[in-house]
Chains A and B, each alone.
Chain A
Amino acid sequence: MADKVLMKGNEAIAEAAIQAGCRHYFGYPITPQTEIAAYMAKRMPKIGGTFLQAESEIAAINMVYGVSAAGKRVMTSSSSPGISLKSEGLSYLAGADLPALVVNAQRGGPGLGGIQPSQSDYFQATRGGGHGDYHMIVLAPSSVQEMADLTIKGFELADQYRMTAMILADGTIGQMMEPVSFDFEVKEQVEKPWATTGTKMQRKHNVVNSLYLNPEQLEEMNNERYRKYDVIKENEALCEEYLTEDADIIIAAFGIAARVSKNAVNKARENGIKVGLLRPITLWPFPEKVFAKHAKHVREMISVELSMGQMIEDVRLAVNCSVPVSLCYRVGGMIPTPDQVYSAIVEANARGGK
């Protein structure tokens, strides 16, 4: 087994992307994800890849469009305000059914906000971000190891379904350092017969485009895309379950909030409160079935978020409002402490589902 290395979450994403065969990175610096660009700038020239610091986030996402259309694995990364700038490009990628990996190491918002961690781009990520009917596959790592693992998975899912996979991380997971193993298998890349690689006079030319002159055809393309989304919802939802089987109370949390929550769950268990944790790993598709299953035996769910309450809406939809769902949160770059989450558990326990 290869030695582990000590990495920042951002570096783990960059290295994993390289190991996934990505040889094209386009980006623009923004805290707290700049290590991804810095790592790519150092490594790509040494392995025959392309690192390009674009003139803007908008330019970078359109470079991603170009490389993806040519059938190559490609990525970009940014943080909240930069993702807003990229949103037009994300919509175009969706409209052209192009695979890509996009990283958002979220920071406090709205506007320029701040450089401390946040999860307040949940709506933007899970609802598409740009204009039009579309989704991205949204993956939410909660450790540096998972930053690497989900990057590999993101590339694979993106290619398989011809859509954008987004790593929705945050400033903390991007910046913190943990040991990482790169001892994993990378699947062989799928064929891309649709790519614009030149006909060599052997086939009809391929077109990559999101403009449809005929409205009936555009409608059918949207319907077809949503049939694909149904398949993804059925097959790709991922969720970690922790002490949920006998739970009276369940915490829903992803990313850094889930790590904090796990400490609070352990403390509550020591004090005799039956509480568990559901950690969605895919935010789209949201692991609805797991939530619906546990809604049958819990008295209350608590959504722990670094936002004013965004994922809580998906939790309520997943349990069809059959149990009360409360919110425990911090914003502005602050992170809930295990004590804060523990207090929320104690209060929920006292309410007894009322």
Chain B
Amino acid sequence: MHYKRITLLAGHYGSGKTNIAVNMAMDLKKQADNTAIADLDIVNPYFRTLDSKKELEAAGIRLIVSAYANTNLDIPALPQEMYSIVHDKTMHSIVDVGGDDRGALALGRLTAMIREEDYDMFLVVNRYRPLTPDVDSVLEVIAEIETAGRLKFTGIINNSNLGAETTAETVLKSVPFAQEIAERTGLPIICTAVEESLYEELKGRIDDLFAMKLQARPVD
């Protein structure tokens, strides 16, 4: 996959942005030595990029995250280093934005600067999430996020899954859904993300498959 200098991931709450962000950062690192993942989630205090700290550090990926993520301090804090996303021109980054329009609000401070850069903003979508079961509801989410974040989406990532019950069929059934979003928005489908065990089965049946290792919080 080709990455611009800044890749923003936004979408509906619980659509899988963090998992994709971590996997994309791993992928991006193969192409850009100075790679960072930035966690701008101000919505959810759980399930953060920080859960994958060990893997990210081992891969040499810089983790930009609020000091309060995964602690008991439940406040919508942003990392002070977030400006390096735009200021450090040698750095490539994957930016994990919080869910829905509430999450996209965090982009506001950076929007004007991001617009000057080489960037993409991808919509992560899972048709099996309860509040985005049809294309109309997805279009609503798109409009809300674009308004709050004051940035336009440039592509779609189809991350349709049913958690542990996901089969090849589950993913295949979601393809027309993603295609309809693409048609109605004029945005390209960047990839369809699948858990790596499903990759072989789906290879050749869906264009632009992106194999992912699912992130899980380490057991203490």
Contacts and interface: CB of A to CB of B under 8 A. Distances in A.
Interface string A167-178: 000010001011
B131 A337 contact: no
Contact of B128 (A4, A11, A334): A4
Nearest to B130: A5
A78 B20 CA distance: 31
Interface residue SS majority, chain B? loop
B128 A5 contact: yes
A35 B165 CA distance: 23
B129 A6 contact: yes
Contacts, number: 54
B128 A39 contact: no
B188 interface: no
A82 B74 CA distance: 15
B41 to A, nearest CB: 13
Contacts of B79: none
Given A31-B45, A31-B74, A115-B74, A178 B163 contact: yes
Interface residues on B, range: 20 to 34
Contacts of B165: 4, 179
Contacts of A177: 14, 163
B72 A115 contact: yes
A39 B131 CA distance: 8
Interface in A1-35: 3-8, 11, 15, 31-32, 35
Which one of A8, A39, A113, A179 has the greatest number of beta carbons of chain B within 10 Å?
A179
A50 interface: no
A116 interface: yes
Contacts of A116: 72
Given A42-B131, A116-B72, A334-B220, A6 B126 contact: yes
B133 A5 contact: yes
B46 A5 contact: no
A5 B174 CA distance: 12
B14 to A, nearest CB: 6
Contacts of B126: 6
B119 interface: no
Given A31-B74, A115-B74, A15 B162 contact: no
Contacts of B47: 175
B164 interface: yes
Contacts of B133: 5
A175 B99 CA distance: 14
Which one of A6, A115, A333 has the greatest number of beta carbons of chain B within 10 Å?
A6
A49 interface: no
B66 to A, nearest CB: 14
Interface in B45-102: 45-47, 72, 74
Contacts of A3: 128
Contact of A175 (B46, B72, B163, B164): B46
Interface string A158-171: 00000000000001
Nearest to B128: A6
Contacts of A8: 14
Interface string A26-59: 0000011001001100110000000000000000
A35 B219 CA distance: 24
A114 interface: yes
B182 to A, nearest CB: 21
Nearest to A43: B131
Nearest to A260: B219
A178 B46 CA distance: 16
Which one of B46, B126, B220 has the greatest number of beta carbons of chain A within 10 Å?
B46
Nearest to B133: A5
15 contacts: A4-B128, A5-B133, A6-B14, A6-B161, A7-B130, A8-B14, A15-B130, A31-B74, A32-B46, A42-B131, A108-B72, A114-B72, A115-B72, A178-B163, A337-B219
Closest 9 CB pairs of A and B: A114-B72, A179-B162, A6-B128, A179-B165, A5-B130, A31-B74, A115-B74, A6-B162, A175-B46
Interface of B: 13-14, 45-47, 72, 74, 126, 128-131, 133, 161-165, 219-220
